[in-house]
Structure 1
Amino acid sequence: MNQSERVAQAWAPSHITGFFSIHREQDPLVSGSCGCGIVLEAGCNVIASFGGEFEILVNGTEVDARTTMRVVRMLSDRPVRVECYHQTPIGAGFGASAASALASAFALNELLNLGRSGVELSQIAHIAEVEEMTGLGDVVAASRGGVVIRKRPGAPGVGEIDTIPSCDYKVFYLVLGNLSTREILGDRDTVRAINHAGRVALREILKKPTFSRFMELSRNFARETGLLSDRARDVIEAVESVGGMASMAMLGDVVFAVGGERVRSVLEEFGDVGMTRITHSRVKLGSHP
């Protein structure tokens, strides 16, 4: 096969943050967030190939994907085409930019025969996220899998993480709207509220690292920061009324919930319901169903 015809594929999981606090430093490798979230089976498939120009397509449409393009520019001085196929909604708190950046880094490493390690590639994706202000902790969580506690901020290999033992629970979600990560992270009052509530939640989850406690603290965090929309509050209360657990994805106007089919039925009263699972899989080469 002609080198210009080579193709490389990679997949990275999505990630929902339940609560977090923001930690910014001059060095993006030590910047990031503390908090806790869940890594999802629905993620992002990336196909990388050589092209006549630098080009990024998201679900078949050419877009200005700043974070992924930064990864591309950090790894390649030769024009490449990167096709990203997301299995979760974009811009709704699923860490879509992190998933595409992470999968793109691994696909390009394979395409270009760069010989970079997994930690190096994950750090490049983290740097891109931090510098483009599209996320702070999704890459490090997606690089681990499961229910991830981010105990100390920073990129993979720099920050400190732990996990909460869990099953691969079904996770139902309902998208109510979008929130701008860049705008929220740029608002001082909101950041102050996030950091206070996030530090409290982290202390509490470390005292009792269970999945049910994570869901409870996530719900409290959404309320205390003022990020919880009225409609999301109504949905969460409806889920809890049938014995389920629910909270809001950070940062997106999205309710995520666990609790089986009774929870799905309640969510369907409010709109179209999506379903995925918690996964302990990490970023890998090749495609993912």
Structure 2
Amino acid sequence: SLLASLKAVSDIFDLKMSNEDIAKIANRTEIHFKTGLGDVAACMNGGYICRKTPGIDGKIIRRYDMEKPISTVTFGPLRTDTVLKDPKAMERIKDAFRDECPKSPDDFFRISREFAENSGLISDKVREVLDECALRNIPASMTMLGNGVFAYGEKAPGILSKFGDVYMMKMSPNGFVSQNKN
């Protein structure tokens, strides 16, 4: 990730950059080169987020109640820059956004899935996995922006493994900025 790369450069060359400064540079770089739009802010302090205003210093509501395992499966790249440079895709994404904050992990996956559906970015393979998860009442959505699925709970790895290699993770309780303060 760009955050990790900038942190390494700062440490190797003893630049003494704060994690907050590294995050701001990473955010500006992603926006300038259209390789991301908000990933840095999401990674900064852990949990899952709901944005109320744009930008790295925007109003963000964080929740830390996602305690079950998160499983992912990926089917190759979805070029972020291609999507972010496409005015029609960006218009669909803008129209898909709902000003609603999740109140629970299940709510997070519901809102995320609705956004993925309404954005028009779901590939056939992602749709197949999402439909299988829905049949089994497993909260799941499309990775943003990616050609993959992330799903919640103990039953998710068994379903996702039918479609590819499963990667397991958990919600970070603190994220990038609150770790290793300079």
Q: Same fold (TM over 0.5)?
A: yes
Give the match for residue 164 of structure 1: 63
Determine the C-alpha separation between the residues in 1 that align with 2:175 and 2:119. 30
Give the match for residue 167 of structure 2: 274
Shift of 1:195: 0.3
Shift >4 Å, 4+ stretches = none
1:220 aligns with 2:119: no
1:191 aligns with 2:85: no
The structure number with the bigger radius of gyration is: 1
Determine the C-alpha separation between the residues in 1 that align with 2:5 and 2:76. 27
Shift of 1:186: 1.0
1:133 aligns with 2:34: yes
What is the TM-score when the length of structure 2 is the normalising length? 0.89
Q: How many residues align?
A: 178
Q: Give the residue type in structure 2 aligned to 1:274.
A: Y
Q: Contact 2:50/2:61 (CA < 8 Å) preserved in 1?
A: yes
Q: Give the residue type in structure 1 aligned to 2:34.
A: M
- Which structure: greater strand fraction? 1
Determine the C-alpha separation between the residues in 2 that align with 1:270 and 1:125. 33
Determine the C-alpha separation between the residues in 2 that align with 1:140 and 1:267. 28
Determine the C-alpha separation between the residues in 2 that align with 1:116 and 1:266. 43
Q: Contact 1:242/1:263 (CA < 8 Å) preserved in 2?
A: no
Give the match for residue 242 of structure 1: 136
Where do residues 164-183 of structure 1 align in structure 2 (5 Å cutoff)? 164-183=63-82
Give the match for residue 143 of structure 1: 44
Q: Which one of 108, 113, 134 corresponds to residue 14 of structure 2?
A: 113
Determine the C-alpha separation between the residues in 2 that align with 1:161 and 1:116. 24
What is the TM-score when the length of structure 1 is the normalising length? 0.58
Determine the C-alpha separation between the residues in 1 that align with 2:129 and 2:17. 44
Q: Percent identity?
A: 34
What's the RMSD between the two structures over aligned residues?
Answer: 1.7
Give the match for residue 204 of structure 1: 100
Determine the C-alpha separation between the residues in 2 that align with 1:129 and 1:254. 21
- Which structure: greater helix fraction? 2
Determine the C-alpha separation between the residues in 2 that align with 1:127 and 1:213. 30
Shift of 1:126: 1.0
Q: Give the residue type in structure 1 aligned to 2:65.
A: S
Q: 1:116 to 1:272 in 2, by over 3 A?
A: closer
Secondary structure at the counterpart of residue 177 of structure 1:
coil
Determine the C-alpha separation between the residues in 2 that align with 1:130 and 1:259. 33
